[in-house]
Amino acid sequence: MDLKDKVAVVTGGSRDIGKAVSLKLGAAGAKVVVNYYNNQAKGAETVQEITDAGGTAIAVGGDMTQAGDVDRLVEETTSAFGDSVAVLVNVVGGLVARKTLAEMDEAFFDHVIRLNLNSVFLACKKFVPLMTDGGSIVNLSSLAGRDGGGPGAIAYATSKGAVMTMTRGLAKELGPSGIRVNCVCPGMISTTFHDEFTKDEVRKNVAASTPLRREGQAEEVADLVTYLASSESSFLTGTSVDINGGLAFS
């Protein structure tokens, strides 16, 4: 999966799945723009790992739910690497908290939707003008977007289902320009997401009921993202690819 000298932007690219994606794209030869939200040290650490391995990368802070911050990400990307972007990976997102319908207020619901859906919209809106034939967008959804998620994940699952729908719409709209748009739907992946929001006994039960009898790893998701970003997947667009060890099929 050769991405030599292609510019790849990874939103939320400094931790967990995002960091693994940044490292894999760098290893494939891409010039990686690592976006982080508020942890500059994590962004710098990810860039250092890429450059230590012989790659090229920069870190850019910013809130991807804010148009001005996305504009600044575009500006710093083009300043460093020119006016052409080949790959955009939208990893930014999160559960925020587990809340039932009765516990949620409108502000919480809106925040989760902005974090998981508006961030994808804004990044695509701002970066697509820099993409040409052969470009690839990979969005991160979730198994929750297919099955409604676990307890207290209504807002999160709704936003991730919308990401899959947006992926399909963008694939139709951008396909004539040669830009592909795909989506990855991880199941139970061993990350700080589940460290924070999922009880240990639940994780063990899910792993035990998964045909492969384990949680997935961020690096495995990154391998799939890198494949979708590369020309090896040149006739794939509009897809939402499951990666969950056989826990659920679609």
Residues 24-56: b if buried by 16+ CB within 10 A, e if exposed: bbbbbbbbbbbbbbeeeebbebbbebbeeeebb
How far apart CA 216 and CA 105 sit, in angstroms, is 33
Return all residues near 7 (Cβ < 8 A) that are at least 6 apart.
30, 31, 33, 77, 81, 82, 84, 85, 86, 87
Q: Which two tokens mark 128?
A: 């697509």
Of 58, 50, 60, the C-alpha closest to 29 is 50
**Nearest alpha carbon to residue 91 among 175, 187, 20:** 20
Cα(35)–Cα(42) distance, integer angstroms:
10
Crossing angle between the packed helical segments 119-127 and 67-81, to the nearest 10 degrees: 40
Residues with a known catalytic role: 156
What phi and psi, each to the nearest 5 degrees, are found at residue 31?
A: -90, 110
Contacts of 74 (CB under 8 A, 6+ apart): 126, 127, 130
